Amino acid sequence: MSFLNGILEWLDHRTGIQTAARKFLYEEIPASSGWHQVLGSVALFSFLVQAFTGAMLAFNYAPTPGDAYNSLRYILTELTGGRLMRGLHHWGASVMIVVVVLHMIQVFVYGAYKKPREATWMVGVVLLLLTLAYGLTGYLLPWDNRAYFGTVVATNIAATAPVLGPYLVRLLGSQNGIGVVTFARFFGLHVLLLPPLTALLIGVHVYLVRKHGVAPVPGDELLPKKKFYPQQVFKDTIAIFAAFIILFVMAVAVRVPLEQLADPTDTAYIPRPEWYFLFLFQFLKLFSGPMEVIGSVVLPGVAVLLLILVPFIDRSQMVKVTRRGFAFGFVALAALGWTGLTTAAVVTTEMPPEAAVDYSAPTDWMQLSPEELAGIAYFRRENCTSCHAINGNGAQIGPDLTHTAIHRNAAWMIQHFKSPQGVRPGSSMPPIQLSDAQLNSLAAYLLKLNPDNASALDNAPEFAVQGALVYQSNGCSDCHKVNGVGQDIGPALNGLAKRRSRSWVEQHFAAPDKLSPGTSMPPFKFSARDLENITTYLFSLPES
Amino acid sequence: MDHVGTTEQPRPAAGETRRTFYVAAIYGIWGLISAALAVPALIYLLVPPKLRKQSDWIDAGDLSQVPTGTPVEMTFRRMRVDGWKVYAEQDTAWVLKTASNQVIAYGPQCTHLGCAYHWDTAKNEFVCPCHNSLFAIDGKVLGGPAPRPLDRYETRIQGNKLLLGKLQVSAEKSA
């Protein structure tokens, strides 16, 4: 212990760090300080968590469109703890916004922005704007449909700004639509420019808080001062811990989906902003035509300006918080407006249909050939799980099928499907009434099963399974290749999503020679559901 | 609040205990938070990614073309998984069919610093051009800085096809 003290003393003599820390911790604070002042520390903490988890994500992230998506998918599906890191970063953003706003409300109702603390307040408002800027720029970085279309709307709003609009658009690199340039700008802002700026302003903010001291309430001057450490630090720590527990639980329990790779030609996608921007989204709907700019830029701009100028608008003397009825009323009104707009946005906007594929879930099914995948459809249709389990999941009347591949070959299985008693006298399994091709498909799937992929395959999304079924029963593989299986007469279908739009593919099914003259592909008349399934399936195929 | 005491005696003691509790709680909670962030981060950075589907055995080519007793460089394609990318890349192996009809496949890199070596027909040995490591036909080090014999692939033969498995790093040190 004395050795340690020796080192500390040596260090202190050279750097003064211990003295500085002591000075920082033993700062005197007003007697009234307490639980209501913990929020600033929690905000700082949530910024640090964002910086840390952001760096962690960056270690496995490729910041260019396309690759960004693939690398995020790699983080989510292949790295242990990757989902947690993304969850912490994603929900951390929400926690940070909530905490920052609560911090601001507390300062506002206590009147802590009053002379001489005007600068502290104004820096704080800028920090709030920075926090929102992170949300806006970070939204694009997963480069899925949600990210892409959300950013299209955001940049279009920026474009409506009077005078500045065209310049903003050029600054954001979106004059020719959202693309590589916009992506690079957003990434640069999100990880290179905003963080040091935030750190600097936090430094200034904390310095100003220290310079003027924590804001006292009237009557404090009569009471003896307290020390910041350890009692207030303890309270801050408890609050930080509570926020951290909430964040951690959300990161573990609430799944953040990853939608399909951004598809600019997808005309059916309804973009919705992150929840903390929903009120603006709804507010915008109150204005139309040439008035739109008022809702999108002018009024929000005026609101921000008013917020910055709060200390100069209210120059009255500091009074007890219980007598600041006007401030309370104002906060209540703002909260009411915000809640109303947000609720209206949630209620009136059609909920986007559950993302067809959550690409952050295990996607082992994507590696299957259409024949194997169609086998899953037969497996489900024949209710095999009413007797058989897959990896312990299902009834236990027949054997668990997870290990079949090790013991049996396809020929045995097909014979067994046709006549269970013929192969295994005394078996209680009914024969399966399917054609040979269908039984082949079922056997192919069962042979693919192993304990590692069983639950992932068992949970293959219905559209993919049904899409593969359509693919298989129409003999598409007689001309096309998927995942390396099939003939080379037509083009291989992996990566179709990159080459063609959805509507093109759908029209092409109906009349191939209209869109590709001279093609030998016959027209296919699918039911609406089949068409939807096979197109979604083909679009979900891995690129190579 | 808590600093207002009425009696002289118990006050410092109570204050002391409370202070100790605060300090312990502060250290304890920060330790917990740091651990809850650092442990997952270390797992995230250190645990290797779950393996993508890769066939363990790679078809290296037709063995019937390989002469007995002379190593031949066989070229084949293999999938290489690099993080979120999968490449099909060209790879080679030096394949030797022995008189006893056994097949040995050497990894194509010198065991010294990974240069590509080649078979010198005249000298009847493998020569690495980088630092003149020499290997015998059975992979043993004949000279130069190479620390161990040539690495070998696991092999399996299916009809005329040569299948290659994992590259086995030879353990023995050259004497």
**A103 CA: distance to closest CA in chain B (Å):** 22
The residue with tokens 């001489």 is A116
pLDDT over 60 at B53, yes or no: no
Contact assignment for B29 to A241 by CB distance below 8 Å = yes
B53 lies in a domain?
A: no
CB A508 within 8 A of CB A515: yes
Overall number of domains in chain B: 2
Inspect the interface and report whether the beta carbons of B44 and A226 lie closer than 8 Å: no
Interchain CB contact of B55 with A (< 8 Å): no
Q: Do A544 and B86 count as a contact with CB atoms less than 8 A apart?
A: yes
Phi first, then psi: what are they for B135, rounded to 5°?
-125, 145
B137 and B82, same structural domain? yes
Residues of A near B (Cβ–Cβ under 8 Å) read: 34, 49, 52-53, 56, 59-60, 62, 67, 70-71, 73-74, 77-82, 84-85, 88, 224, 226, 230-231, 233-234, 237-238, 240-241, 244, 248, 364, 367, 544
Question: To 10 degrees, the CA torsion angle through A197, A200, A204, A209?
Answer: 100
Same domain, B73 and B130: yes
Q: Which residue of A has its CA nearest to B24?
A: A234
Residue B40 domain-assigned (yes or no): yes
What part of B 126-155 touches A (C-beta under 8 Å)? none
Asked, for residue A191, whether it belongs to a domain, the answer is yes
- From the list B30, B44, B52, the residue facing A80 with the nearest CB is B44
Does A117 share its domain with A215? Answer: yes
pLDDT score of B7: 43
Q: In this complex, do B19 and A248 lie within 8 Å of one another by their Cβ atoms? A: no
Dihedral angle at the C-alpha atoms of A210, A211, A214, A218, nearest 10 degrees?
170
pLDDT for B4:
45
Do A270 and A138 fall within a single domain? Answer: yes
Sign of CA dihedral A226, A228, A229, A234: positive
**Confidence band of B175 (pLDDT split at 50, 70, 90):** very low
ipTM of the complex as predicted: 0.73
Q: Domain check: are B66 and B98 in the same one?
A: yes
Looking at the structure, do residues A282 and A410 belong to the same domain, yes or no?
no
What is the structure's pLDDT at A310?
94
Residue A432 sits in the same domain as residue A504: yes
> Is residue A528 over pLDDT 50?
yes
**What are the pLDDT digits (tens) for A81-95?**
999 999 999 999 999
Q: Show residues of chain B in contact with A82, CB under 8 Å.
A: 44
Chain B nearest-CA distance from A439, in A, is 25
Surface-to-core class of residue A318, CB atoms within 10 Å of its CB (0-12 exposed, 13-18 middle, 19+ buried): middle
Q: Which domain holds residue A141?
A: 31-257+266-313+322-348
Same domain? A442 vs A488: yes
How would residue B55 be classed by pLDDT, with cut points 50, 70 and 90?
low
The domain that holds A497 is classified in CATH as 1.10.760.10
The token pair that represents A410 in the structure block? 């396809």
Q: Which of A26, A29, A57, A84 to mutate to test the interface with B (most CBs of B within 10 A)?
A: A84
Contact at CB, A56 and B19, closer than 8 angstroms: no
Is B31 part of a structural domain of the chain?
yes
Let me know whether B39 and B62 are in one domain.
no
Binning pLDDT at 50, 70 and 90, where does residue A271 land?
confident
pLDDT band at B172 (very low <50, low <70, confident <90, very high): low
Residues of chain B neighbouring A49 (CB-CB closer than 8 A):
37
| Res B173: pLDDT | 54
Nearest to A369 by CA among A245, A465, A286, A498: A465
Last-in-domain residue among B12, B28, B47: B47
**Tokens matching residue A53:** 């988890």
Tally A–B CB contacts below 8 A.
75
For residue B173, tell me if it sits in a domain: no
Which chain B residues contact residue A56 at CB under 8 A? Answer: 41, 44-45
| pLDDT (tens digit per residue) in A224-263 | 888 899 999 999 999 999 999 999 999 999 988 888 778 7
Q: Phi, psi (5° rounding) for residue B69?
A: 90, -10
Please report whether residue A382 resides in a domain.
yes
Write the single-letter amino acid at A523.
Answer: P
**Residue keyed to tokens 């209620």:** A347
B36, closest residue in chain A (CA to CA): A248
Q: Is residue B64 domain-shared with residue B118, that is, in the same domain?
A: yes
DSSP letter at A175? Answer: B
Q: Decide if A81 and B33 are in contact by the 8 Å CB cutoff.
A: no
Q: Given this model, what pLDDT does residue A312 score?
A: 95
A79 and A38 co-located in one domain: yes
pLDDT of residue A183: 96
In a domain, B1, yes or no: yes
pLDDT at A59 over 90: yes
* C-alpha distance from B91 to closest chain A C-alpha (Å): 19
CATH of the domain at A235: 1.20.810.10
pLDDT at A42: 98
pLDDT at A541: 83
Note down the domain range covering B98. Answer: 58-168
Average pLDDT of the segment spanning A395-402: 78
Residue A447 to residue A450: CA distance in whole angstroms: 8
Structure tokens at A338: 């915000």
Partners of A529 in the β-ladder: none
Q: Taking CB atoms and an 8 Å cutoff, what residues of chain B touch A79?
A: 44, 47, 49-50
Residues B65 and B38 both lie in one domain: no
* 3-state DSSP assignment of residue B42: helix
B8 and A CB contact within 8 Å: no
Count of domains forming chain A: 2
pLDDT of residue A357: 63
- Structural contact between residues B155 and B60, judged by C-beta atoms closer than 8 angstroms: no
Question: Which residue from A minimizes the CA distance to B51?
Answer: A78
| pLDDT tens digit sequence for A173-207 | 998 889 999 999 999 999 999 999 999 999 999 99
The C-alpha of A453 sits at a distance from chain B's nearest C-alpha, in angstroms, of 10
Both tokens of A306, joined, read: 């008013």
Same-domain status, A175 and A81:
yes
Q: Report the candidate in A189, A56, A81 with the shortest Cα–Cα distance to residue A135.
A: A189
| Residue of B120, B92, B127 whose CA lies nearest to B106 | B92
Phi, psi for A393 (deg, rounded to 5): -110, 105
More confident residue, A162 or A244: A244
Question: Which CATH number do you get for residue B78?
Answer: 2.102.10.10
B130 within some domain: yes
Query: What is the mean predicted confidence (pLDDT) over A283-307?
Result: 89
Residue appearing with tokens 């004395």:
A2
Per the model's pLDDT, the better-predicted residue between A329 and A430 turns out to be A329
Lowest mean pLDDT segment, chosen from A453-457, A496-500, B107-111: A453-457
| pLDDT at B8 (0 to 100) | 46
Nearest CA in chain B to A448: B53
Do residue B26 and residue A230 have CB atoms under 8 angstroms apart?
yes
Looking at the structure, tell me whether residues B41 and B65 fall in a common domain.
no
Interface test with A, best of B20, B33, B43, B44 (most A CBs within 10 A): B44
- What is the nearest CA distance from A42 to chain B, expressed in angstroms? 13
Whether residue A62 sits in one domain with residue A165: yes
**In a shared domain, residues A328 and A441:** no
Mean pLDDT within A387-408: 75
Whether residue A187 contacts residue A63, with contact meaning beta carbons closer than 8 Å, is answered with: yes
- Say if residue B38 is in the same domain as residue B77: no
Domain identity same for B20 and B71: no
Position B15 scores a pLDDT of 79
Interchain pair B37, A544: CB under 8 A: no
Same domain, B70 and B36: no
Q: What is the pLDDT of residue B166?
A: 84
Compute the C-alpha angle B49/A358/B56, nearest 5°.
35
Q: Do B41 and A56 touch (CB under 8 A)?
A: yes
Under 8 Å between Cβ of A345 and A286: no
The reply to whether residue B44 touches residue A248, judged by beta carbons under 8 angstroms, is no
Q: How many residues does chain A have?
A: 544
pLDDT at residue A37 greater than cutoff 60: yes
Quick check: is A4 in a domain? no
User: Which residues are CB-neighbours of A368 under 8 A, at least 6 positions away?
Assistant: A445, A448, A457, A460, A468, A483
Rounded average pLDDT over A68-83: 90
Retrieve residue A126's tokens. Answer: 């800028």
Asked if A237 lies within 8 A of B29 by C-beta distance, the reply is yes
Cβ atoms B42, A56 nearer than 8 A: no
State the number of CA atoms in the 13 A half-sphere of A215 facing the CB: 25
Residue B120 lies in a domain: yes
Q: Assess B52–A contact: CB distance below 8 Å, yes or no.
A: yes
- Residue B162 maps to a domain: yes
* B14 interfaces chain A, CB cutoff of 8 Å: no
Same domain, B72 and B125: yes
Q: Does B71 lie in the same domain as B32? A: no
A482 within domain boundaries = yes
Q: Say whether both A284 and A214 belong to one domain.
A: yes
For A350, phi and psi rounded to 5 degrees? -60, 130
A420-467 pLDDT per residue, tens: 888 887 788 888 888 888 898 898 888 888 777 777 787 788 888 889
Query: Do A89 and A214 fall into the same domain?
Result: yes
What does the radius of gyration of chain A's CA atoms come to, in whole angstroms? 30
Q: CA–CA separation, A329 vs B67, rounded Å?
A: 93
CB A429 within 8 A of CB A360: no
> What percent of chain A clears pLDDT 90, i.e. is strictly above it?
42
Task: Determine which of A90-104, A207-221, B159-173 has the lowest per-residue pLDDT on average.
Answer: B159-173
Q: What is the pLDDT of residues A338-357, one digit of tens each?
A: 999 999 988 887 665 555 56
* Per-residue pLDDT tens digits for A120-157: 999 999 999 999 999 999 999 999 988 999 999 889 88
Q: What is the pLDDT of residue B63?
A: 86
In whole angstroms, what is the distance from residue A246 CA to residue A243 CA? 5
Counting residues of chain A whose pLDDT is more than 70, the rounded percentage is 97
* Statement to judge: residues A344 and A465 lie in one domain: no
* B40 touches A: beta carbon within 8 Å: yes
pLDDT averaged over every residue in chain A: 88
Considering only CB atoms, B33 lies closest to which of A34, A82, A241, namely: A241
Q: What is the pLDDT of residue A529?
A: 86
Pairing of strands B125-127, A481-482: unpaired
Query: In the structure, what pLDDT confidence band is assigned to residue A301 with cuts at 50, 70 and 90?
Result: very high
Tell me how far the alpha carbon of residue A234 is from its chain's centroid: 33
**Cβ atoms A472, A371 nearer than 8 A:** yes
